[in-house]
Homo-oligomer: A and B are copies of this chain.
Amino acid sequence: MEGKPKQILIADDEPDILEIVSYNLGKEGYEIYTAKDGNEAIERAKQLNPDLIILDIMMPKKTGVEVCQILRSQPQFQDTLIIFLTAMSDEASQIKGLETGADDYVNKPISPKVLVSRVNALFRRVNSKEVGKSIHIGNLTIDPVKFLVVIDQKEVILAKKEFELLHLLASRPGRVFLRNEILSQVWGNDVIVGDRTIDVHIRKVRQKLGIDCITTVKGVGYKFDM
């Protein structure tokens, strides 16, 4: 059971490094995205929500350590893997890096093969326990493992269908789901239910969440939007 390809964001100001790392990890089947300074790294991380972020420490705008701290302070990136990449091989930096919340620390000059092995080792470890990944959007968290929705630190209990419906919509924020799609995804392809059934569940979700995050697209379907 091979999941979807893992997304990796690489931030470094040296184009050479970016290229060599992208090439070698891409060859392994990972989906690679790049950033060339600290601010861009943060920006891209927020829009991509990648599985792993590889950060050079010495970068313009913001250092890798700063980026790591900023990202780790947000719930969305609590579980994201982070590897530091750096020319500073002194042990103080390394310790500081790991204590900032990084998962690994690789010294330059990097060996592409070693980096690939370390990336693989990290994913091997994390994959074995991570079954359903939770969704974080703004102050909203959807956790399929705990079957729980948290909004502004407050837990909201949704019934099964309500949860599945919200989970579906929130899995692709902004994208419109046709009523048909919703029916087949949440209710299954065979069951036939009345026309108002979806509406009623949408209503319950809206009501329980208390915030307006589901938009109606008349004649088409619904979408999640914050």
Q: When the two chains form their complex, are residues B125 and A128 in contact, meaning their CB atoms are under 8 A apart? A: no
Residues of B within 8 A of A95 (CB): 113-114, 117
Judge if A160 is at the interface, Cβ distance under 8 Å. Answer: yes
Q: Which of A79, A104, A124, A147 has the most CB of B within 10 A?
A: A147
Chain copies in the assembled complex: 2
The binding surface of chain A is classed by DSSP as: mixed
Residues of chain B with a CB closer than 8 A to A91's CB = 111, 113-114
Identify the A interface with B (CB < 8 A). Answer: 78-79, 81, 91, 94-95, 98-99, 101-105, 111, 113-114, 117-118, 120-121, 124-126, 128-129, 145-148, 159-160, 174-176, 217-220, 223
In the complex the two chains form, is A145's CB within 8 Å of B114's CB?
no
When distances are taken between beta carbons in the complex, the residues of chain B under 8 Å from A129 are 79, 126, 128
